[in-house]
Amino acid sequence: MNLKSTRKKRNPKVGFVSLGCPKALVDSERILTRLRAEGYTVAPDYDSADLVVVNTCGFIDSAIDESLDAIGEALEHNGKVVVTGCLGANPQRILERHPKVLKVTGPHAYEDVLDAVHEHLPPKHDPFVDLVPPQGVRLTPRHYAYLKISEGCNNTCSFCIIPDLRGKLASRRIDEVLREGERLVRAGVRELLVISQDTSAYGADLRYPRAEWNGSSYETRFLDLARGLGSLGVWVRMHYVYPYPHVDGVIELMADGRVLPYLDIPFQHGSPTVLKRMKRPAHAENTLARIAAWRRACPQLVLRSTFIVGFPGETEAEFQQLIDWLEEAQLDRVGAFKYSPVEGARANEVAPHVAPEIQEERLARFMQVAQRISAARLAQRVGQEETVLVDGHEGNVAIARTRGDAPEIDGVVRIKRGASLPVGEFARVTLTAADDYDFEAVPKENPS
Ligand code: SF4
Task: Look at residue 134 in the predicted model and tell me its pLDDT.
Answer: 43
Residue of 129, 149, 154, 157 best suited for mutating to test ligand 1, as the one with most atoms within 8 Å of CB: 157
Question: C-alpha distances in angstroms, 368 versus 326, 328, 358, 362?
Answer: 11, 15, 15, 10
160 Cβ below 6 A of ligand 1 = yes
DSSP-assigned beta bridge partners for residue 262: 302
Query: Is the entire prediction scored with pTM above 0.75?
Result: yes
CA distance 443 to 448: 14
CA distance 148 to 151: 8
Task: Look at residue 335 in the predicted model and tell me its pLDDT.
Answer: 93
277 Cβ contact list (under 8 Å, min separation 6): 158, 311, 312, 313, 347, 350, 351
90 Cβ below 6 A of ligand 1 = no
pLDDT in tens, the chain (448 residues): 344 444 444 578 999 888 866 556 667 777 887 788 777 888 888 888 999 999 887 767 777 888 899 999 999 999 999 999 888 888 888 999 999 999 999 877 777 888 899 889 987 655 555 555 544 334 456 788 888 898 889 999 998 887 887 789 999 999 999 998 998 888 788 999 998 889 999 999 999 999 999 999 999 999 999 999 999 999 999 999 998 888 999 999 999 999 999 999 999 999 999 999 999 877 767 899 999 999 999 999 999 999 999 999 999 999 999 999 999 999 999 999 999 887 788 888 888 899 999 999 999 999 999 999 999 999 999 999 999 999 999 999 999 999 999 988 899 999 999 999 999 999 999 999 999 899 999 999 754 3
CA distance 131 to 140: 13
Task: Give the dihedral of Cα atoms 112, 114, 115, 120; nearest 10 deg.
Answer: 130
DSSP code for 6:
H
Contact call for residues 261 and 300 (beta carbons, < 8 A)? yes
56 Cβ below 6 A of ligand 1 = no
User: For atom 4 of ligand 1, which residue has the closest CA?
Assistant: 197
Give 162 Cα–ligand 1 centroid separation in angstroms. 6
Give 129 Cα–ligand 1 centroid separation in angstroms. 10
Closest C-alpha among 236, 232, 198, 201 to residue 216? 232
CA distance 211 to 221: 11
CA distance 97 to 104: 13
Contact call for residues 90 and 97 (beta carbons, < 8 A)? no
Contact call for residues 392 and 423 (beta carbons, < 8 A)? yes
